[in-house]
Amino acid sequence: MKQDLYAIYSIWLREMLRFFRLKSRLVGSVASPFFFLAFLGMGFGSAAAMPGIPQGVDYVSFLTPGIIGMTLLFSSTFAGLSVLWDREFGFLKEIMVAPVSRIAIVLGRTAGGVTTAIIQALIILLSGILLGMTAPGLQGILMSMVFMVLIASTFIGLGLAFASKMEDMSGFSLIMNFLIFPLFFLSGALFPLDRFPQAIKVLAYINPLTYGVDGLRYSLIGAGTFSPALDFIVLAVSCAAILGLGAYLFEISEVK
């Protein structure tokens, strides 16, 4: 048990050191969401009367939780890429033969991925406030961080699931891009769900990110399509299922 806890901490610390040492990674991971937020927010700044946006909420305030969801999605999903990178250079084999459980390895990677994803999400939140979003209270920030953790954990699990069954980094990136863009656009991050055609709404309602973005909106601007309890329950169940699947596939995977 003590060895597993030390392994979780060590892997988390390694992810933190890698994140802060690679300044280009930090800048690159935040720049794209920031430009989405800045240009879409300014371009559609007069869309406060758009159907589906609560009265009195400007588009920047509506958009910021969606871009935070985008940041968490992209950052968390590509956490699986570090698994392939470690496999390529032999580090994964070294920790897999260490006297610790594979679940501890998964938890360490998940903790590292969640922490880095939340740091990036908070930077985007600060950017949204600077662009005109009303600053949320402490309760709203704490509530939003619960949803951030669930979103990040869910898609880290998805990244682990694919990384456990793949060996090619280029192929992993292509498949992830194929998956994450539909998840992002179907989440209601950019436009209200009410504006979607009925057939697209069905797809949006089975997308875990939809409930994550909606929970972030309720936390940060006090308005959402669903109740926060429903958002939390659906996202928590999705998180447990997907992260559990990723952990299982990682546990039975073979390291060459």
CA separation for the pair 161, 249 (Å, rounded): 6
Backbone angles phi, psi at 255, to 5 degrees: -105, 120
Q: Write the pLDDT tens digit of every residue in 94-129.
A: 676 667 777 888 888 888 889 988 998 998 999 888
What's the chain's Rg over C-alpha atoms? 18
Q: Write the pLDDT tens digit of every residue in 48-64.
A: 456 667 777 788 888 89
Note the pTM of the prediction, 2 decimals.
Answer: 0.89
Q: Write the pLDDT tens digit of every residue in 131-180.
A: 888 888 899 999 999 999 999 999 998 888 888 777 777 777 788 888 88
The yes-or-no verdict on residue 93 having pLDDT over 70 is: no
- Among the listed ranges 69-83, 139-153, 192-206, which one has the minimum average pLDDT value? 69-83
Query: How far, rounded to the nearest angstrom, does the alpha carbon of residue 239 sit from its chain's CA centroid?
Result: 11
Q: Note the pLDDT of residue 49.
A: 56
CA separation for the pair 1, 104 (Å, rounded): 9
Mean pLDDT of 71-82: 82
Q: Write the pLDDT tens digit of every residue in 63-75.
A: 899 999 999 998 8
For the chain, what percent of residues have pLDDT higher than 70? Answer: 87
For the chain, the average pLDDT equals 83
CA separation for the pair 169, 87 (Å, rounded): 10
CA separation for the pair 28, 19 (Å, rounded): 12
CA separation for the pair 81, 79 (Å, rounded): 5
Provide CB contacts within 8 A for 39, sequence distance 6+.
Answer: none
User: How many structural domains are present in the chain?
Assistant: 1
Which of 100, 73, 92 minimizes the C-alpha distance to 4?
Answer: 100
**Residue numbers of the domain that contains 49:** 2-252
- What single-letter DSSP state applies at residue 168? -
Q: Note the pLDDT of residue 2.
A: 75
**Which residue, chain included where needed, has tokens 């060895």?**
3
